[in-house]
């Protein structure tokens, strides 16, 4: 019989912590890419605005910026949803408790 070694307990705890941290990276990296493009588009629209214009872009640029911000929020929600653990499925024919 082998003796208990304290380093094995530490290694086990580190492994458990790593497994618990892993879902934070589970979201598709393409979501980050899409978000980066939205940020760039927003920056370009803001740079194109002419503060001296009477009706800058007839308000369409401001609407586009607002929609880009909404899209960024939806991407954040999609990333969070992708990182959430999936509920266990019940076997077929089994009723809910």
Q: pTM surpassing 0.85?
A: no
CA end-to-end distance (rounded Å), the chain? 44
Longest dimension (CA), the chain: 85
Per-residue pLDDT of the chain (97 residues; tens, 9 = 90+): 455 444 444 444 444 444 444 444 557 899 999 999 999 999 999 999 887 877 778 889 999 999 999 999 999 999 999 988 878 777 787 777 6
């Amino acid at each position: 019989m082998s003796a208990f070694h304290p380093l094995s307990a530490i290694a086990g705890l580190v492994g458990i912590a790593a497994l618990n941290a892993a879902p934070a990276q589970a979201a598709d990296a393409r979501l980050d890419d899409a978000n980066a493009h939205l940020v760039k588009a927003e920056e370009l629209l803001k740079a194109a605005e002419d503060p001296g214009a009477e009706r800058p872009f007839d308000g369409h640029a401001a609407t586009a910026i607002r929609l880009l911000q909404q899209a960024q929020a939806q991407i954040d929600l999609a990333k969070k949803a992708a990182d959430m653990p999936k509920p266990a499925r019940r076997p077929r024919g089994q009723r809910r408790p």
